[in-house]
Structure 1
């Protein structure tokens, strides 16, 4: 029986969905890392060996980059959190990162739960270049899972 080889997907076709916020497109989105803490334990009667157990899981930041436009939706979300706090009603939102195949069909999806913007950054103004201005939003997340 022959095994069909499948090529890995390329990371340049993707969508970002943010609950309640309409954004046309992003030029870059990072998938947060996930780390399970290791807890080491040694029993007093064991002279040589220690055991390892899984501890708490921590997640990195989700970073979104997009060209600066007239839309203020993401910045207003950041402003709301900076003034009201991340625990205010409506501050935390669910975000989905969706990887698309060449035909535009969704092939992988990461759901990010209870995200809120913790950092905003924009490229500088420079009269000697014609580069696109880019806004960067860093989101702190509660947890994330890959669902497909």
Structure 2
């Protein structure tokens, strides 16, 4: 089923690539943010009227939080491990959050440059419970590029 003009994407089909390789389909992506300084300057126009202008300043680094099912995804687990152990020469990677259409074709990319995992929370475990185990991972990055 292809999308008709004007259709909006749904939020149920997305995944994570690390260095261009799909490593994980995610349960949830939270707080994917971008922030940029705003430079405001004032000047006087040729007619002597005050004029205020704004222009973009420096981009700021960001963070996002992803929730994944606790799986045997060795690539994602190794990335987390490299970050925890402080091996930054290999922990900094380019990651991409992919949003896909109903036919699993990528239609939007959030490219996270020089990303690494800075926090991990594992879900609670309980004897006799019938629930999926998840990991919540906070990813910090130096630059966000949206395609």
Which residue of 2 is the match for residue 95 of structure 1? 95
Which residue of 2 is the match for residue 114 of structure 1? 114
Distance in 2 separating the partners of 1:29 and 1:80: 21
Shift of 1:51: 4.7
Distance in 2 separating the partners of 1:64 and 1:145: 18
User: CA 1:51–1:23 in 2, change beyond 3 Å: closer, same or farther?
Assistant: closer
**For structure 1, which segment, 114-123 or 93-102, has the greater mean C-alpha deviation from structure 2 after superposition?**
93-102
**For structure 1, which segment, 57-66 or 89-98, has the greater mean C-alpha deviation from structure 2 after superposition?**
57-66
1:130 aligns with 2:121: no
**For structure 1, which segment, 52-61 or 15-24, has the greater mean C-alpha deviation from structure 2 after superposition?**
15-24
Shift of 1:118: 0.4
Which residue of 1 is the match for residue 76 of structure 2? 74
**For structure 1, which segment, 129-138 or 54-63, has the greater mean C-alpha deviation from structure 2 after superposition?**
54-63
Question: SS of the counterpart of 1:103?
Answer: coil
Higher strand share: 2
Shift of 1:121: 0.6
Distance in 2 separating the partners of 1:111 and 1:18: 10
- TM-score normalised according to structure 1 size: 0.76
Aligned length in residues: 141
Shift of 1:50: 5.4
Which residue of 2 is the match for residue 32 of structure 1? 32
Shift of 1:42: 5.0
Structure 2 unpaired stretches of 5+: none
Structure 1 unpaired stretches of 5+: none
Q: CA RMSD in A?
A: 2.9
